[in-house]
Amino acid sequence: MGKIIVVTSGKGGVGKTTSTANLGTALALLGKTVVVVDADVGLRNLDIVMGLESRIVYTSMDVIEKQCELSKALVKDRRVDGLTLLAASQKNNKDDMQPEEMKAICEKLGETHDYVLVDSPAGIERGFSNASAGADEAIVVTTPDVSAIRDADRIIGLLQHAGIEPINLILNRFSPQLVGSGSMMDQDDVLDILNIDLLGIVPEDPGVITSTNRGIPLVYEDASPGSQAYMRIARRVTGQRIPIPELEQRGFLSNIVNWFTRNR
């Protein structure tokens, strides 16, 4: 029986879909069998980020309406073994699906895969309850700004209420330079408020935009800092103990100050 993990955030635009695509691909690169499930009915995006847009024939809605078998609706990613996508219907809306139906799909997928990653839509309404219905665990994605953190806090409260445990955090779009200059919250501030375990920190990486537009998840490019961060996160998800590296937090100015004090 595989693990069913919902990737969620509350606020939109903090990197749920990017995290799902990269984490899913990274887990597959580590040799696991993974299915990524888009739960954002009516506003699907995961297929684009994964570059599988053109190959979708059936969606989860077709499975629910018994138009096709679940196995037939899975789109295989040809770049890596063991990675498949279950797309969301773009023409329906979130109320057309029941949480129990989503739960049944996730549980069935869990029988045949090591990991089922469910990409949750933003918000706390039906889309969220559909996405989290079948989840054993949750990954909350947030950026280090107050509005995203307040929404993450709300979502954590709802997940706890639903009995989903453990809940881990991905701190996305983290900029050590901005933290160094005092204009961004650091990881301790964020963890102090949210009070859940940190799964990883993904640094701000302009490569994300190009990778999204090209439909090639970042983890295929070994050199980029974002890719390395997602690979580390994937290893932690599989249970490996990998320390979170200290990100260089010094800004340009403090580097100079530091250079002077060091040479005194």
Partner 1 sequence: MANSIVALRAYRDGLHLIIRPHLSIAEVEEAIQQEMSRMNQTLVGASVQIDLKCPLLEEEEMTYLKSKLQETYNLTVRSIETFDEQAPSPIAAAPTTHEIAQTANTQNGRDSEPSRIIPYTIRSGQAEGFPQGSLIIYGDVNSGAEVRAGGDIVVLGALRGNAHAGLNGRLSAVIIAMDLVPVQLQIGNFINRRAINQKPRGYPEIARLGVEDVIIVEKFVKF
Window 179 to 238, contacts with partner 1 (CB under 8 A): 192-193, 195
Window 27 to 86, contacts with partner 1 (CB under 8 A): none
| Interface stretch with partner 1, choices 54-62, 148-156, 171-179, 203-211 (CB under 8 A) | 148-156
Q: Which of 72, 76, 78, 154 binds partner 1 (CB under 8 A)?
A: 154
Smallest gap from Cβ 10 to partner 1, in A, equals: 9
Q: What is the DSSP string of 193-213?
A: HH-SEEEEEEE--THHHHHHH
Q: How many residues bind partner 1 (CB under 8 A)?
A: 14
Q: Which of 157, 214, 242, 256 binds partner 1 (CB under 8 A)?
A: 157
| Interface stretch with partner 1, choices 63-71, 106-114, 150-158, 213-221 (CB under 8 A) | 150-158
Count the residues in the chain.
264
Window 104 to 143, contacts with partner 1 (CB under 8 A): 124
- Is the Cβ–Cβ distance between 2 and 82 less than 8 Å? no
Smallest gap from Cβ 43 to partner 1, in A, equals: 23
Q: Is 165 in the site for partner 1 (CB under 8 A)?
A: no
C-alpha dihedral sign at 157, 89, 135, 188 = negative
* CA nearest to 175, candidates 140, 144, 135, 131: 144
| Interface stretch with partner 1, choices 41-49, 146-154, 201-209, 250-258 (CB under 8 A) | 146-154
Q: Which of 153, 168, 177, 251 binds partner 1 (CB under 8 A)?
A: 153
- Block residue for tokens 């955090």: 169
CA distance 101 to 242: 36
CB burial readout 195-212, b (16+ within 10 A) else e: ebeebbbbbbbeebeebb
- Is the Cβ–Cβ distance between 230 and 30 less than 8 Å? no
Q: Return the number of other C-beta atoms located less than 10 Å from residue 180's C-beta.
A: 19
| Interface stretch with partner 1, choices 14-22, 68-76, 147-155, 221-229 (CB under 8 A) | 147-155
Q: Is 156 in the site for partner 1 (CB under 8 A)?
A: yes
Residue ranges in contact with partner 1 by CB under 8 A: 124, 146, 149-151, 153-154, 156-158, 160, 192-193, 195
